[in-house]
Amino acid sequence: MAIIRWDPYRDMVSLRDRMNRLFEDLGSQKTEDKDLIPGAWAPSVDIYETENEVVLAAEIPGVDEKDVEIKVEDNNLTLRGERKFEKETKEENYHRIERSYGSFFRSFALPSYIDQDRIEAEHENGVLKIHMPKRSELKPRKVKILKPTAAPAPAPAEKVNKK
């Protein structure tokens, strides 16, 4: 994974945006239950690298594929979606609601060696895997060390008579 330079201003803008969304959502929320506040959760992710690709695995159980958007723009991968609260049972019949619901947003800076045109995603058993292949021209390759060829020995110098 590439080392990415820390930009405190980008982090502060991101924090400001999150705080603004939180307070906007709190102002429009009619229920007292904090677990139902949109934007109150974000899926956990694992990011690992193999020889040929970088893989991002996000846990999104209970989220339908049609409720997830993956976007690649300006060397950033954005994961946005929503886990909807299914009202199969009346809220007053619940003893406890611990799972988080609502919209989520995650953004990741992509290393320069990712081939952004070949990024693919799959969703199975509540895990979204995003496969980001490395560019072939930038993949590491082994360099063979050659033994030097034996050069012909220099001809002996003729003796010069000194008088």
Q: What pLDDT score does 88 carry?
A: 65
| Residue tagged 């490395």 (tokens) | 134
Q: What pLDDT score does 57 carry?
A: 96
Map out the domains of the chain with their CATH numbers: 8-28+36-85+98-138 (2.60.40.790)
- Alpha-carbon distance of 103 to 26, in angstroms, equals 14
Side-chain half-sphere of 94: how many Cα atoms within 13 Å? Answer: 12
CB atoms within 10 A of CB 38: 19
- Alpha-carbon distance of 25 to 23, in angstroms, equals 5
Written as tens digits, the pLDDT of the chain (163 aa) is 677 777 777 778 888 888 887 877 665 544 444 444 444 678 999 999 998 999 999 999 988 889 999 999 999 999 999 888 776 666 667 777 777 788 899 999 999 899 999 999 999 999 999 999 998 876 667 888 988 887 666 666 666 565 5
Q: What pLDDT score does 143 carry?
A: 85
- Alpha-carbon distance of 64 to 57, in angstroms, equals 16
Q: What pLDDT score does 25 carry?
A: 64
Q: What pLDDT score does 159 carry?
A: 60
Q: What pLDDT score does 32 carry?
A: 43
Strand partners, 131: 55, 120
Q: What pLDDT score does 124 carry?
A: 92
Q: What pLDDT score does 36 carry?
A: 44
Which pTM value belongs to this model?
0.59
- Alpha-carbon distance of 50 to 48, in angstroms, equals 7
Q: In this structure, is the dihedral angle defined by the CA atoms of residues 124, 43, 56 and 111, taken in order, positive or negative?
A: positive
Q: Provide the token pair at 44.
A: 């956990």
CB atoms within 10 A of CB 104: 21
- Alpha-carbon distance of 63 to 73, in angstroms, equals 23
C-alpha triplet 110, 62, 120: angle, nearest 5° = 30
Q: What pLDDT score does 3 carry?
A: 74
Q: What pLDDT score does 158 carry?
A: 61
Q: What pLDDT score does 123 carry?
A: 93
